Chain A
């Protein structure tokens, strides 16, 4: 690792839960030296307009991602399997708002 890379702060992914939401949603990333700083800066960068009530941060290099090169193999086979959507059922009236 060269000097430039070493002096860079690690990248963190930021997830914010808004007032009405149940789940934390990914909203961006930022650089920070440690977890505490990452939370504080996430607060300053991503919740300035009352967006949040809770923040998660995770080091970007800790996220394992699917390989974009394998997109076709992974996801295309699902294209012609419409029967996996529950659109063929008649819902009872009492469940109308599901």
Chain B
């Protein structure tokens, strides 16, 4: 059994892990549709998007490992940390749900990631800026694909509208966490590494709200609840997804293709 690694609390590393882990866990949930999507064509589309996100996670985790300087590579960071050391948004670890949940979450995440990658193209870290230049094109497509689906579901049949609305009720409380700021964001902004996520809130709202309106969906009222995945405090679903993801590396340390 492979033991866990401990990761540096350096704010730059933490900033990158939030981004990389959110891509990684989001990809894992999207990939759960492989072989199960409503139609074959969408099955391929969802897997494509999951693979884009895995590619982004690999690049960002690799860079996080380099900045950390403790010799951790992408695989060790992806598979050998304990739950508390994963810094993804709680939103992405929630169960895959039905197709409406997946579409709404993908739209929310793609919009956030697109805005992040746009800003990260100007990062003082040249490596991260290069990753962002490639990833922003992928995120733009994910946003368009998911946004079109949200319109079809929200403004579709009685059943699809009901499900889209239920998905919004379920996921909306977890959106607030995206735009919570703390010392990690402050450090990244001051160092020119990347934006405070909180600074993306207005643009995110400006892109998401019109689509919700057009889809005849109404965002629930703001609540005091805040999820804390970015701080490493996760929902009860995180342990299960990690068990599935880590099983192979833990049982066969260093196993490669």
Contacts and interface: CB of A to CB of B under 8 A. Distances in A.
A56 B141 CA distance: 18
Interface stretch (B40-48, B106-114, B164-172): B40-48
Interface in A33-55: 33, 36-37, 40-41, 43-45, 48
A32 interface: yes
B41 A41 contact: yes
A48 B48 contact: yes
A36 B147 CA distance: 12
B49 to A, nearest CB: 9
Contact of B45 (A31, A33, A36, A44): A44
A43 to B, nearest CB: 8
Interface residues of A, number: 13
Interface string B119-163: 000000000000000000000010011001000100000000000
A44 B39 CA distance: 13
A42 to B, nearest CB: 9
B42 A41 contact: yes
Contacts of A33: 152
Contacts of B45: 40-41, 44-45
A48 B47 CA distance: 11
B145 A40 contact: yes
Contacts of A74: none
B48 A44 contact: yes
Contacts of A30: 41
Contacts of B44: 41, 44-45, 48
Interface in A15-37: 30-33, 36-37
B148 A40 contact: yes
A31 B152 contact: no
A63 to B, nearest CB: 19
Contacts of B40: 31
Contacts of B141: 43
5 contacts: A30-B41, A31-B40, A31-B41, A40-B144, A40-B145
Given A40-B144, A41-B42, A43-B141, 7 more contacts: A9-B39, A33-B152, A40-B45, A44-B41, A44-B44, A44-B45, A45-B44
